[in-house]
Amino acid sequence: MRIVYKVLAYAVAVEVALQASFMVLGIAGLGKWIDAGGTFDKASMESDDSMFPEAVGFMLHGVNGSIVIPALALILLIVSFFARIPRGVRWAVAVFVLVAVQANLGFAGHELPIMGALHGLNALLLFTVAFLAARRAGAPAKTGAADDSARVSTPA
Amino acid sequence: MPSRVRGARGRTVAACVAAALVIAPLAWWWQVSRLPGSYAMTSVGHPDTGGAAARHAHPGGVDVTTLVADPHRRADVSVTLTARHQRLRVGSRTMDGFTLNGTSPGPVIRAVRGQLVEVRLVNESVRGGVTLHWHGVDVPNAADGVAGVTQDAVRIGEAYTYRFVADQAGTFWYHSHQASSEQVKRGLLGALVVSPRPVVRTGEQNTAADVVALVHQYGPARTVNGQPGDLRVPLAPGATARVRVINTENGPMSAWVAGAAYRVVAVDGTDLTGPTAVRDTAVLVTAGGRADLEVRAPADGTAVRVHLGGPHGVVLGGAGETLTGKDQAPVASTAPAGKPRATLDLLTYGTPTPLAFDPDRPDRRFRYDIGRRPGFLDGRPGMWWTINGHLYPDVPMFVVAEGDVVRMTVSNHSGEVHPMHLHGHHAVVLSRNGVPATGSRWWIDSLDVANGETYEIAFVADNPGIWMDHCHNLPHAAQGLVTHLMYEGVTSPFAVGGHRDNEPE
């Protein structure tokens, strides 16, 4: 369970990094498209047929952010109950809460763009917390008492 | 050791309980959100009588299949449309799509006001079935073309005949209402134009032009009448053209005229009263909506462009420049011009005329609040649209009786714009964000409700049936932003889902 926790927490961190990458890919593609004389409006935004190839970045950002990352954070939380990592549950809860905040900021940004700015900052916080959670799972337990699972499964 | 083992067991039990506390509510919400494989649209939602006492419907009621145009009257306009799954040519590209009589958009259907239009839809090769909905035409319910509500989807080898009297002159369009979010995008659509009187062809004079400009995006290409780039229309200097802009896309589109004045003479198939000339101003045509623009070709013989969402659109006149075809490069007057900053406000445009009913004394008042929240829709997790705070199918069913004056408050707090479309009726806009409408009567069948906006609209319930009232960003409708207007005592033998695979959205 410890290894599963570790992999999931790293996966959240990697996914957050990808999210930033997808978004900038899309925006760069949009800039290039406009520069070449293309236009982009609500009608084209709502079409699933991309006018420029990099628009796939927006699509991936949406699917990843609304489905994949919340699912990873949820599974991490459930795994944390069984993983017996010192403060592992707290870190998983922190990841889960930050993911929820992140999704809400993302959607709120449609209405209030300043929330989008906070979405960008919260991403860094989420990345850091997910990364630290993963590191925590990787660190050897300091005291035996903190890690009963090792004792029970391997009696001396 | 035993105490440690007990401690470990205790922890495992605690972990299981904690996991169950997280999973159980999610599993519960997932389970209750699932829709049956087949259901009647009349079973969707909570009846909302809008403040009127519910009357008891007669047992048996009125079947939607009986709500038809006079069956003994001969058709004045008779058309057969054959739906096919085939390759489409869009400019220099080809793509997989759907056609009607071999083209997409399908043929422009033209009628004169008062004529009975009869369209026989034949499905030759579109898997999953097709229908045709007459967007903006207040047809009898049986001709409304909504799969699972007013008919079964027309499967390969089958046919369905739509009959209606085109009693309103204006610009309309038709499209499939079976898996509409997919089929409309891929080509099952076309224009319908109803003229107030028979059109007299003036030969080659080009002193007046009636131009259909149906805007649709095929793959990455935005097209006018199916072709990318400009639609060029010959027009004598000083002559006027009526450009019938039809937005078949899922988002609002701006239209504007570069360097010339124009008038918006009709919206959603209804003429405006007293429209004045505007300049350097765009008009927003919402998804599914139409706007008829009257434009005069410059007297000096140059061309004028009606921009449709971007650099391209309809280029009128400029005979000397364009008809020879020698030089395809645009001259100065038709060089693409950017979108003006100003957008026409239809709330104050034109001059008011009296209404035939009193919207301040409605028989029913309804609220259509659009929001968004996380949840499950038919078992799928996501951020879904809500109506009055609830997810589909837990939405209001607006119940009316024939003759009722209905007032509806449509508000949007969902973060995104929604083009709201009510079938079978035209509603008049009374106010936006509390500011009363003071211009021409603004009748809509497709209303652009931006985030944060609240519209008061009113209509007379004069067309019995079961009528969808949904977002015309068609994927949004598929995501649950759909409900219906239900006349008391009307029943439907059709079902959504089931062995006919009816899938209206």
ipTM confidence = 0.84
What distance in Å separates the CA atoms of residue B92 and residue B452, rounded to the nearest whole number? Answer: 42
Mutate to test the interface with A, among B95, B250, B411 (most CBs of A within 10 A): B250
Alpha helices in B230-284 (DSSP H): none
Does residue B15 fall inside a structural domain? no
* Residue B182 shares a structural domain with residue B251: no
- Distance, CA of B161 to CA of B132 (rounded, Å): 10
B82 and B56 inside one domain: no
**Comparing A134-138, B51-55, B173-177, B412-416, which segment has the lowest mean pLDDT?**
B51-55
Which of residues B343, B362, B389 is at a domain's end?
Answer: B343
pLDDT the model gives residue A154: 43
At residue B6, the pLDDT reads 74
**Which tens digits make up the pLDDT trace of B162-203?**
999 999 999 999 999 999 999 999 999 999 999 998 876 655
At B417, list the tokens.
Answer: 């714009």
pLDDT given at position B368: 98
Assign B322 to helix, strand or coil.
helix
Closest CA of chain B from A140, distance in Å: 19
pLDDT of residue A41: 83
Domain boundary among B195, B229, B264: B195
Q: What is the pLDDT of residues B327-369, one digit of tens each?
A: 444 444 567 788 899 999 999 999 999 999 999 999 999 999 9
Q: Mark yes or no for CB contact A50/B381 under 8 Å.
A: no
Nearest to B278 by CA among B210, B351, B209, B345: B345
In a shared domain, residues B385 and B302: no
pLDDT computed for residue A64 by the predictor:
95
Residues B343/B253, Cβ–Cβ less than 8 Å = no
Strand (E) or helix (H) holding A151: helix A148-153
Q: What pLDDT score does A44 carry?
A: 79
Domain containing B307 equals 208-343
Q: List the single residue in B15, B417, B473 with the smallest CB-CB distance to A81.
A: B15
Does residue B183 sit within a domain? yes
The yes-or-no verdict on residue A155 having pLDDT over 70 is: no
Domain count along chain B: 3
Mean pLDDT of chain A, nearest integer:
88
Do B73 and B53 belong to one domain?
no
The tokens for B296 are 């005069």
**Per-residue confidence band for A45, with pLDDT thresholds at 50, 70 and 90:** confident
pLDDT over 80 (residue B147): yes
Give the closest residue to B474 by CA, choosing from B142, B155, B227, B133.
B133
Strand partners, B493: none
Instruction: Tell whether B250 lies on the interface with A, counting CB pairs under 8 A.
Output: yes
For chain B, the distance separating the N- and C-terminal CA atoms, rounded to the nearest angstrom, is 63
Domain with residue B222: its CATH number is 2.60.40.420
For residues B113 and B179, state if they share a domain: yes
Question: In this predicted model, what pLDDT tens digit does every residue of B218-252 receive, in sequence order?
Answer: 988 899 999 999 999 999 999 999 999 999 999 99
Is residue B12, in this structure, part of any structural domain at all?
no
DSSP state of B15: H
Ranges A89-93, A126-130, B322-326, B430-434: which has the least confidence: B322-326
The confidence score (pLDDT) of residue B60 equals 65
Q: Is A64 on the interface with B (CB under 8 A)?
A: no
pLDDT confidence of residue A36: 85
Mean pLDDT of chain B: 92
Measured between beta carbons, the chain B residues lying within 8 angstroms of A111 are 415, 451-452
Contact B312, A39 (CB under 8 A): no
Chain B touched by A17 (CB under 8 Å): no
Examine the domain organization and report whether B57 and B115 are in the same domain.
no
Percent of chain B with pLDDT strictly greater than 70: 93
| pLDDT given at position B319 | 61
* CA atoms of B145 and B123, how far apart (whole Å): 14
Residue A151 pLDDT: 44
What is the percent of chain B where pLDDT is above 90?
Answer: 82
pLDDT for position B10:
87
Quick one: pLDDT at residue B363? 97
Task: List, in order, residues 6 or more apart from B449 with CB less than 8 Å away.
Answer: B370, B410, B411, B412, B417, B418, B419, B420, B455
Structure tokens at B369: 């609040």
Q: Do B45 and B109 belong to one domain?
A: no
Q: What is the pLDDT of residue B397?
A: 96
**Is the Cβ–Cβ distance between B244 and B278 less than 8 Å?**
no
| Chain A residues close to B372, C-beta within 8 Å | 107
Final residue of a structural domain among B142, B170, B195: B195
Looking at the structure, do residues B216 and B330 belong to the same domain, yes or no? yes
Å between A42 CA and nearest CA of chain B:
5
Interchain pair A43, B287: CB under 8 A: yes
Confidence band for B11, pLDDT divided at 50, 70 and 90: confident
